């Protein structure tokens, strides 16, 4: 009787299946990571809007004349407002117009509204799904 030799190592099929599983897990992880980054950018935009509103409020309390800039143009008096908040900050998320513009604001009856990408960020309006 001939001795049967035991094979050592993996077959080509086993290696291909392992590689396919690793690729699938990598793609799933990459998409999850991209979604988490975008969600965090949306949160950063909301926080920035709150900071801008607080800065405008402090400027008004300090006697700085602040007028609306809802036309989408730059801040009306960035030199004076830069003492109260970063006037060069722009939206980070795709949802609020990343790389397309800046935050805009309006003041109605002493209430400050902050917009980005055509959507109101402050005061935050609850989204319905």
Cα–Cα distance between 76 and 69 in angstroms, integer? 6
Helix spans in the chain (H): 12-61, 78-81
For 45, the token pair is: 């935009």
State the pTM of this model.
0.77
Q: Which tens digits make up the pLDDT trace of 40-99? A: 999 999 999 999 999 999 988 998 878 776 655 445 567 788 888 888 899 999 999 887
Cis peptide preceding 123, ω within 30 of 0: yes
Q: Which tens digits make up the pLDDT trace of 31-51? A: 999 999 999 999 999 999 999
């Amino acid at each position: 009787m001939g001795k049967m030799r035991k094979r050592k190592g993996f077959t080509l099929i086993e290696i291909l299946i392992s590689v396919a599983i690793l690729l699938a897990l990598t793609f799933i992880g990459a998409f999850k990571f991209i979604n988490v980054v975008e969600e965090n950018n949306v949160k950063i935009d909301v926080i920035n809007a709150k900071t801008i509103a607080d800065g405008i409020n402090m400027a008004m309390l300090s006697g700085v004349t602040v007028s609306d800039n809802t036309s989408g143009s730059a801040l009306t008096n960035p030199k004076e407002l830069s003492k109260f908040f970063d006037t060069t900050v722009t939206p980070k998320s795709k949802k609020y117009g990343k790389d397309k513009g800046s935050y805009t604001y309006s003041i109605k009856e002493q209430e400050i509204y902050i917009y980005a990408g055509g959507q109101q960020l402050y005061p935050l309006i609850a989204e319905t799904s």
